[in-house]
Chain A
């Protein structure tokens, strides 16, 4: 228990719900430089590696053998290994060294050497390097679409929305494994409703996953996990050869794949063999490369809280993303699983992938609410989408998403759910009801969805999986029942599987089914003015968040009370104990309410009432030559018989001034107009009258709000701009009279 209240408050903060530990290298709980990590070495004899990272060939384990045979380019290895690691590290950030030259050298490095290279980079340099080294020029993003009930209507609607929002890939999975063919179908139909060309997958057990692809229900797979030590790999029930065979099997069916790896998995399985997380990850990436996978998802993925518990963990995760890009692998850079309780920490971590851009910034942004994320993830989720869209606009960074409007989004969701209902009917599945569609369109999560007969659904899903029906049945149903556009999009996806251009590294489709990949859209970053630049229509799209309004639009009235003033000619200097109220040039004309939406008619009414309460007469004058409050009140006090004036700008900022004081000095200043109530204006009127009578006055204290400037500075700027536009420099002050019907 803290003795200090400040320490106690901090102890209760979200960041202190996270776990932090000191390094324990023997257990693999260290990012970099475990004592057991080897020093880089490589010897080649007769075209074969006979020594690698300090081990002779007869000491190679399963992974070493695979890497030595398949992963390292012998034609460049001797030159690359002989190059100083620091020099290689500098090439990664040197804009004068083309990406291809760097890649060629990296192809010849061992795991220990790769790690040595990245260990020379600080985190900013890693970001610079990722910007240069990622495969595809255009960054993109992947969504997770799942729900706790495996509700098909909701999956379709959510996939449609994710596609509509700009996600280039959508990954789903299952609550109950036997739902897999349904979920894959729902996400396919939904995605092609939201935006043509979005790639989809359903993460399930390998054999099932392959079956779904063979039925045409998925277009990619990324569940091919690899591990950096033999025992971890074998515990995962695979070997580099079984995974490599799967890679070929998927490609033979026209399906894109990427492998999965990530720091911490070996330590979690208690099989790190005393190695650092980054060394083991480098081995995983070399196996990925050797197997001929076009890419990988890494960045610790589901283990993220493990590296984040360690010193340098977040930088280390950026390093593993970079290692993948250095090996010319498409990289989907994590950010999927829960990484922290703290929003500050989550956002800061995200920047390491978001700012440089990657092939997929998230390997699954939870586009659905956390409670429905069946990957156990959702570091950012549906609730955070507006934050993410603002970050894109703030940083002028393409994070792969676009702002949408509610009405159009709901229309897309409805259409997807209706399209899936048509497919269900054609396949003879238990129907998707009207009520389900309505809730899928407008509900928050699967908890809002009606329950279905799970037993009947699962039986139908299993019949579908084992039966003769394929995606083509869905295409036919859609074409015949009013959804020819969705049918055409799905058919085009199937046709693209025959063409196979999207099997090339880092491939995604545009809405016109153009392939953007390392072949057609190769990253050509060479410093400022090169590579991907966020300009033109795409930048305009990112700017156009629905919350942004046109500051040039006239003030929207919030009350029916309009002030109408009558000009009664030039003002003379008054006499006796009066108070002059000097208003700004837009007061009651162009502007009708203060920054916190008090009608100017009411404000003026309260000032006058307060003055009248003290039995002091008041005159109302308008200052035209300036919009500056000091000058307005200075002018007012000059014309006041008592020398006392209230200066007020149309936005509500008010001052009580006395003749003889300098323009920037005053009796009482109320600079935070947003904090003023009508009651305050009433008391300002009374105080001004008190000064005019020459009696002691207690200054009015207005509460200070630290957020006021944040909340009102934009509106203040706009209102002051309007006021200043009404300035007429040569015009003398005019006496005003309130027209009777606008008096409050």
Chain B
């Protein structure tokens, strides 16, 4: 069994304490069963050590997103779909990621998308019918 020695959940509960007796007794919610930023950074190191650079980069972006709420995640995803966001909307999301959520890699991802979308005509303009 992957014991996860030394690993704690997002809420700081050691994985050794994530046991049935406690949960059956009413303890815990999904946050206690959520992966922590540090764990994803560790997984990124494991991937990088195996020569999997892009997998590692994805885990580092994921580590940044641990603290981003579900609805914000869904909002960013939607804004990254074609013709959804104006340049300033994407810039605002990137700024929020960088400043509010300390997610610089994710911010860069959104900015890069904004730059490419601008050159490829994939942004929402005033004329186009956005949602």
Q: Does B86 contact A (CB under 8 A)?
A: no
Establish whether residues A491 and B23, one from each chain, have CB atoms under 8 Å apart when the complex forms: yes
Give, as a whole number of angstroms, the nearest-CB distance from B102 to chain A: 13
Majority-rule SS of A interface residues: helix
Q: Is the CB of B106 within 8 A of A62?
A: no
**A328: CB under 8 A from chain B?**
yes
B interface: dominant SS? helix
Would A491 and B20 count as touching, CB distance under 8 A? yes
- Docked-complex contact A251 and B15, CB < 8 angstroms: no
The size class of the interface chain B forms with chain A is 35 or more
Whether B113 sits at the interface, judged by CB under 8 Å, is: yes
CB-CB under 8 A for A472 and B33, given A248-B61, A252-B62: yes
Q: Which residues from B are CB-within-8-Å of A512? A: 1
Q: Are B46 and A498 in contact (CB-based, < 8 A)?
A: no
**Cβ of A399 under 8 Å from chain B:** no
Is B82 located at the chain interface by the 8 A CB criterion?
yes
CB distance from A522 to the nearest CB of B (A): 8
Q: Is A606 an interface residue (CB 8 A)?
A: no
By beta carbon, the residue of chain B nearest A487 is B20
Q: Are the C-beta atoms of A207 and B43 separated by less than 8 Å?
A: no
Is the CB–CB distance between A488 and B20 below 8 Å? yes
Contact with A along B29-58 (1 / 0, CB 8 A): 110011110011011001100111111111
Closest to B4 in A: A499
Which of chain B's residues 50-85 have a Cβ closer than 8 Å to chain A? 50-59, 61-66, 68, 70, 73-74, 76-78, 80-82
Complex alpha-carbon distance, A407 and B40, angstroms:
44
B43 & A216 in contact (Cβ 8 Å cutoff): no
| Option from B18, B34, B42, B80 in Cβ contact (under 8 Å) with A254 | B34
**Shortest Cβ distance from A73 into B: residue:** B53
Q: What interface size band does chain A fall in?
A: 35 or more
Closest to A503 in B: B43
**A502 CA to B26 CA in the complex, in Å?**
27
Cα separation A496 to B63 with both chains bound (whole Å): 16
What residues on B are CB-neighbors of A292 within 8 Å? 54-59, 61
A249 at the interface (CB under 8 A from B): yes
List the B side residues contacting A328 at CB < 8 Å.
51-52
Please report the C-alpha to C-alpha distance between residue A476 and residue B21 in the assembled complex, in whole angstroms. 9
Interface residue A289 (Cβ < 8 Å from any Cβ of B): yes
Contact B122 A234 (CB under 8 A): yes
Having A214-B70, A215-B30, one finds 11 other A-B pairs with CB under 8 Å, namely: A107-B51, A239-B117, A250-B62, A254-B33, A328-B52, A470-B30, A472-B28, A479-B23, A491-B18, A498-B10, A498-B18
* Residues in chain B within 8 A of chain A (CB atoms): 1-2, 4, 7, 9-10, 15, 18-20, 23-24, 26, 28-30, 33-36, 39-40, 42-43, 46-47, 50-59, 61-66, 68, 70, 73-74, 76-78, 80-82, 106, 109-110, 112-113, 116-117, 120, 122
